[in-house]
Amino acid sequence: MSMRIRKRRKLKAEINVVPYIDVMLVLLIIFMVTAPLLQLGVDVKLPQADARGIQAPKDPVVVGVTREGRYLLKLEGQNVEEMDEASLEARIAAFVRQSPETAVFIDGDMDASYSMIYRAMATLQRAGATRITFRGDPAR
């Protein structure tokens, strides 16, 4: 008769933390990916930047937007004209028909609301302008 010797195992009173570490690392990756996407409402002053200037075309069309919401049209070699939205759209459409690659610069007043400048851009797009650029002053 063989005698079986049974060895009793001691119970371990430890917590296995490996699954918790895995879950923590997955959550860390999720937060690292989503955190940059949550920063949408940053209060900045857009008109000033240390950006390299672009080559301006020889005959630029400049549309100014005042803080009161008025539109100003300035052509190379001409005076500034104040006009309403419909007149601006008609004038820009005429320039675009003559030269489809006409570049239009928007000079928005720093105190003008974003909606006024956006509305000017939409008006220029309705007129057929495809090369629309915002201009600003260099940072001081």
Question: Mind listing the pLDDT tens digit for each residue in 3-38?
Answer: 666 677 777 778 788 888 999 999 999 988 888 776
Question: Mind listing the pLDDT tens digit for each residue in 107-116?
Answer: 888 888 888 8
Torsion sign (Cα): 126, 127, 130, 134: negative
| pTM for the model | 0.56
d(CA 89, CA 84): 9
Nearest to 61 by CA among 140, 133, 139: 133
Structural domains of the chain sorted by starting position, each given as residue range(s) with its CATH number in brackets: 57-138 (3.30.420.270)
pLDDT for 44: 40
d(CA 137, CA 120): 19
d(CA 15, CA 13): 7
